[in-house]
Amino acid sequence: MTAERPYLFIALAPIVLLAAFAIPALAQDTQYPQLPAPPPMKVIPKEERAQLQAETDTKDRLKLTIQFALAHLETAERHTAQSNFEQASAEVGIYHALIEDVLNLLAALKRDSTRTRDAYKRLELSLRAHGPRLTAMRRITPIEFAVWIKKTEDFARDGRTEALNSFYGHTVVKDKSASEKADEKPTPTPGPKTPQP
């Protein structure tokens, strides 16, 4: 029996050594998924909110909101260029809040008004210009912050769509549902043997 123990030790030694070196190496290779940064706060600063609420005319309030949004977008671009992604994310959150606020303001207005359509057109043109800037920022931002810029970018695109849809409110013909199509009687097409009046 004593002769078997050294052979057993010699046989198990490579397995023990392999396990001793392989387990820590495997533990180092496991990478945890990158978690996104916390979402930016979508809050309009108190001073800007007070200035916006002081404006009684929709056109002036829209113009002021676009100015504030553009200023925050430019600040976010500067922070992104300096690799200060947390500050850039905060500025993008303020930009998002401003656009959301102006969309809510315009949604409450009468749709058939020319003034409302003009306001939507001004907003659409601004958001069209902001889209490529948001995309450029997102592309150079690390993924954990780029997720939130992408959400703001999508929100601005949806705002553009809403603005454009305001022009086609009553003039677009809706598709008929299946039940409406079934209720319709087909109109006969005149043929060569159909009597003419």
Instruction: Specify the 3-state DSSP secondary structure of 190.
Output: coil
Residue 21 lies inside a defined structural domain of this protein: no
Q: Which amino acid is at 113?
A: S
Render pLDDT for 133-150 as a digit per residue (tens, 0 to 9): 999 999 998 888 888 889
User: How far apart are alpha carbons 138 and 164 in whole angstroms?
Assistant: 25
User: How far apart are alpha carbons 134 and 15 in whole angstroms?
Assistant: 55
| Position with higher pLDDT, 4 vs 68 | 68
- Is the pTM higher than 0.85? The answer reads no
Residue 117 lies inside a defined structural domain of this protein: yes
pLDDT score for 82: 93
Q: Which residues lie below 8 Å from residue 16, measured CB to CB, with a gap of 6+?
A: none
Residue 19 lies inside a defined structural domain of this protein: no
Q: Which residues lie below 8 Å from residue 90, measured CB to CB, with a gap of 6+?
A: 40, 41
Residue 54 lies inside a defined structural domain of this protein: yes
Residue 179 lies inside a defined structural domain of this protein: no
Whether 159 and 99 have beta carbons less than 8 Å apart is answered as yes
CA angle at residue 175 from 170 to 178, to 5 degrees?
145
Taking the chain, what is the end-to-end CA distance rounded to the nearest angstrom? 119
Render pLDDT for 5-56 as a digit per residue (tens, 0 to 9): 666 666 676 676 666 666 665 555 455 566 667 778 888 999 999 999 998 8
Structural domain of 80: 46-168
Residue 30 lies inside a defined structural domain of this protein: no
Residue 194 lies inside a defined structural domain of this protein: no
Using alpha carbons, list the distances in angstroms from residue 153 to 106, 136, 143: 20, 11, 14
Residue 51 lies inside a defined structural domain of this protein: yes
Length of the chain: 197
User: How far apart are alpha carbons 75 and 81 in whole angstroms?
Assistant: 10
Q: What is the maximum span of the chain, computed from C-alpha positions, in angstroms?
A: 120
Mean pLDDT, rounded, for 114-126: 88
Domains identified in the chain, total number: 1
